[in-house]
Structure formats: structure tokens, C-alpha cells
């Protein structure tokens, strides 16, 4: 009787170890693969919209950027219009662990006079003002 009890305890102990090992492996896989959360498309004015995407700390900003651009393109396609880039901001969030990309865009018809090549200029993140006179 005592031997059978010990075998059951030993078997249960092996089961717990295997279960915990699988849980640990699954959590590591989820941590490495990460995730991207994308907001709903928000109207900003006539034909102008905004969307944000945040990637967690284990992925780079490219995943969030791709997600935001895809959501924006899908929005314009659903409206039967063309995507036109206006601007984007990429900011570290949550103590510089996550990356949030905010994209502003327009959905314009083919014959819209504003549907031209976008003039993409990088906005400086530091402005130095000379006040000496």
C-alpha cells in the first residue's frame, strides 16, 4: 500500500513539473512574440483620419507602424478612396518600453486636387531659438 501511494505522489510530482515547464515555455514564447494593439480609426475632419498602434517592448516600432498603415489603408479602401499620408509620430511609451505610432492620413478620391504626391518632411525634435540681439 505504501509503495502505491509513493508512486502516485511521484507521478503527480512529475505531472506538476511537466505542467509548470509547459506554462513557462508558453509564457516565454508569448513574451518574445509580443503583440501590437491598434486603435480604431478616428475622424479628424473632412477626409482626414488618425490611427495609433502600440507594440510591446520585445518588438520594434516597425510592427506598430505596419499595423497603423494597414488599418489606414483598409479604412480608405472601405470608403472607395485612396490613402494619402499626412504625417506620423513615433514615441516611446510606458517608461520607454513600448513604442506608439500615431498616423494621420486622408482618404481622397482619384480626382481630388489634393491627391498628389505627399511632401514628406522630417519635423525636427529640437528647435534652437537665437534670442541674442
> At residue 6, does pLDDT exceed 80?
no
* Segment 49-54 mean pLDDT: 95
Percent of the chain's residues with pLDDT above 70: 74
- What pTM does this model have? 0.65
Give every CB contact of residue 118 below 8 A, 6+ residues apart in sequence. 84, 85, 86
pLDDT at 83: 97
Digit-coded pLDDT (tens) for 60-119 = 778 889 999 999 999 999 999 999 999 998 888 877 788 899 999 999 999 999 999 888
The CB density around residue 38, as the number of other CB atoms within 10 Å, is: 17
Mean pLDDT over residues 16-34, rounded? 63
**For residues 78 and 114, what is the distance between their CA atoms, to the nearest angstrom?**
20
Structure-model confidence comparison of residues 5 and 118, the more confident one: 118
Alpha carbon separation from 90 to 2, 53, 64, 93 (Å, rounded): 65, 10, 9, 10
| Helix, strand, coil percentages in the chain from 3-state DSSP, rounded to 5 | 40, 30, 35
Residues 27, 68: Cα–Cα separation, whole Å: 26
Q: Give domain limits for the chain.
A: 1-33, 36-108
Q: What is the residue whose three cell numbers read 473632412?
A: 46
Calculated CA dihedral for residues 51, 97, 34, 123, nearest 10 degrees: 40
Strongest mean pLDDT among 22-26, 27-31, 95-99, 101-105: 101-105
Amino acid at each position: 500500500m505504501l509503495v502505491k501511494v509513493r508512486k502516485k505522489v511521484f507521478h503527480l510530482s512529475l505531472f506538476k513539473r511537466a505542467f509548470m515547464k509547459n506554462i513557462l515555455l508558453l509564457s516565454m514564447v508569448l513574451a518574445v512574440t509580443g503583440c501590437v494593439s491598434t486603435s480604431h480609426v478616428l475622424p479628424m475632419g473632412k477626409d482626414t483620419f488618425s490611427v495609433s498602434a502600440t507594440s510591446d517592448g520585445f518588438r520594434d516600432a516597425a510592427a506598430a507602424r505596419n499595423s497603423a498603415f494597414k488599418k489606414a489603408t483598409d479604412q480608405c479602401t472601405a470608403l472607395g478612396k485612396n490613402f494619402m499620408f499626412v504625417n506620423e509620430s513615433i514615441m516611446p511609451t510606458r517608461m520607454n518600453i513600448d513604442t506608439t505610432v500615431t498616423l494621420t492620413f486622408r482618404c481622397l478620391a482619384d480626382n481630388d486636387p489634393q491627391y498628389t504626391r505627399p511632401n514628406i518632411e522630417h519635423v525636427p525634435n529640437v528647435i534652437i531659438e537665437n534670442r541674442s540681439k
